[in-house]
Amino acid sequence: MSELIANMTTTNTSQASQAHFESILEQRTSIGRYDASAQLDEEMVNELVRLACLAPSAFNLQNWAFVAVHSNAAKQRLYPLAFEQPQVLDAAVTYIVSGRMQGYKELNTTLQASVDAKIISEGVQKTWVEMASQTHQESDQARRDEAIRSASLAAMSLMVAAQEKGLASGAMGGFDAQAVKAEFALEEDSLPVILITVGVAGEGNWPQKVRKPLAQVLRTL
């Protein structure tokens, strides 16, 4: 088996050296300027969230929530709360991505579908529910951290899904979270984490900016 893996690695390395396969992450750029005339239908707006929800989450909590700001009226409501950044008006849709801090309370129900599909056992379901409750019940920090982790993973998955569909996207941290929560009637336990704009890129966007070399960000032990 080890010899087979070594051979596969050698073959894959050789093939990679012959022709570099460009990852979808190498193709993606952060978009701030959109073609305001380009629209997305509701089916695509929904499909991007369906794909985003394939992101991982601890215990399969799936403790995320999305609001698709799609109509012109909704965009006008979000615009001042995002400090009047024009991409909110010009993008086809802006997703408000939130993490749910009380998601662990719904975990038993959330996991039931995987039990019914015979992916996990009832014993695993019970163990995960108990572990999540112990971890989150008494810790505001744990609930907040998990909400941010889950929402962030889902948001990145949404951007990759958009790129896969030939669309452009951008992540926005500049917004009034509490005002957004109130204006769009988010659940009490929802923590607005990030805005993701999606649409067709307009003119004047930067190419992908240069990243730090691996030596500055990676330690291999």
Calpha distance 78→180 (Å, rounded): 7
Is residue 67 predicted with pLDDT exceeding 90?
A: yes
Strand ordering across the sheet containing 64-69: 64-69, 93-100, 190-199, 168-172
Give the pLDDT of residue 20. Answer: 76
> Distances in Å between the alpha carbon of 142 and those of 88, 134, 208?
31, 10, 34
User: Over the stretch 94-148, which tens digit does the pLDDT of each residue have?
Assistant: 999 999 999 999 999 999 999 999 999 999 999 999 999 999 999 999 999 999 9
Q: How many residues does the chain have?
A: 221
- Considering only CA atoms, which of 167, 211, 192 is closest in space to residue 31? 167
170 neighbors 197 (Cβ within 8 angstroms): yes
Is residue 50 predicted with pLDDT exceeding 50?
A: yes
Q: In 59-205, which residue ranges form alpha helices assigned H by DSSP?
A: 72-78, 87-90, 107-116, 122-136, 140-164, 177-183
137 neighbors 104 (Cβ within 8 angstroms): yes
Q: What is the pTM of this model?
A: 0.91
- Which two three-digit tokens encode residue 99? 């993490």
Domains delineated in the chain = 23-202 (3.40.109.10)
- Considering only CA atoms, which of 74, 83, 98, 94 is closest in space to residue 181? 98
| Residue that has been written with the tokens 């744990």 in this structure | 142
User: Over the stretch 134-175, which tens digit does the pLDDT of each residue have?
Assistant: 999 999 999 999 999 999 999 999 999 999 999 999 999 999
Q: 8: number of CA atoms within 13 Å, CB side? A: 5
